[in-house]
Chain A
Amino acid sequence: MLIKTTLLTVLQHAKSLVRPPIALALPSKIHTSASLKKAEDRKEMLASLPAKDEGTTGEKSVDIDTLINRKAKFFPDADTASQLFNGIPFNELPICNIRVSPNNTIISVSDYKGVPRLIRSCGIEGFKNTRKGTNIAAQATAVTISAKAVELGWKTVRVKVQGLGPGRMSAIKGLQMGGLNIVSITDNTPVSWNPPRPRKQRSL
């Protein structure tokens, strides 16, 4: 009787010894979380990437109250329209329109009525495919178009920017590097609080 019980216990013990490897082997046979893991890896990868440049430096900074102490006039008022810049009233200055998107930058220069005279984009400039949507391409385009505008005799311009993208800041900088005198910068991004239904989200 004693021997039988001891044998049984030994057997059970042996069984319990054998069991763990089987239990360990089980999860690898059932594929439950492989796809989830892939999505997680993707998320991690995207989070570790550096933030994409959208030309919005200074968006998150908080030192807006310092403006009050400054004497300089940063915002236009009713008299600005008739104010003279280089001998031309503000509302008769030529306009430089910059249209920025993540993949391209299009710059056009028009007279004060809005009739376009020059147009140039990163694609025309010779940058193709993904290189179009870089800040370097935008700057090069801006430099060439500003040289052409100076040839026309337009040295003082107002700038109107539309959209977000890597070319937003560098295009404005390029205009100045090309020899144009920028009087004002206007944001003309179309933003609606009740837009028609946009396209569906990209699957990442």
Chain B
Amino acid sequence: MRHAQFLARTVMVQNNNVEEACRLLNRVLGKEEIFDQFRRTRFYEKPFQVRRRVNFEKCKAIYNEDMNRKIQFVLRKNRTEPFPGCS
């Protein structure tokens, strides 16, 4: 399905600040992995390369999940206001 022109993937420029708008657009597209997919489909990715990439991504996701859990565990707080003076 085609998306509406000038509604999808669009950023409005505020106060003539073009660079900020560009950066925001790039950041959103990078986060949504649109640029990654674009770069990946420039050339044919052989099946062994797909397997290697997918396996690597799986390992990375597991590592990140575990590491986040550890960080949350170390940073846990047991007081009514967790970070006094920071709000």
Contacts and interface: CB of A to CB of B under 8 A. Distances in A.
B54 interface: no
Contacts of A90: 6
A176 B38 CA distance: 27
A186 B22 contact: no
The DSSP consensus for interface residues of chain A is: loop
A185 to B, nearest CB: 5
B16 to A, nearest CB: 7
Contacts of A189: 29, 34-35, 38
B14 A173 contact: no
Nearest to A197: B44
B13 A183 contact: yes
A173 to B, nearest CB: 6
A74 B12 contact: yes
Interface string B22-59: 11111111110011011101111110000000000000
Contacts of B70: none
A173 B18 contact: yes
B19 interface: yes
Contacts of B43: 198-202
Contacts of B19: 169, 173
Interface string A175-193: 0100001111111110111
Given A185-B18, A189-B38, A197-B44, A58 B27 contact: yes
A75 B5 CA distance: 13
Given A58-B23, A64-B27, A164-B35, A187 B41 contact: no
A74 B20 CA distance: 10
Contacts of A192: 37, 41
Interface string A15-56: 000000000000000000000000000000000000000011
Interface of A: 55-61, 64, 67, 72-76, 80-81, 90-91, 158, 164, 169, 172-173, 176, 181-189, 191-193, 195, 197-202
8 contacts: A56-B26, A58-B22, A58-B24, A74-B24, A76-B6, A164-B38, A183-B12, A185-B13
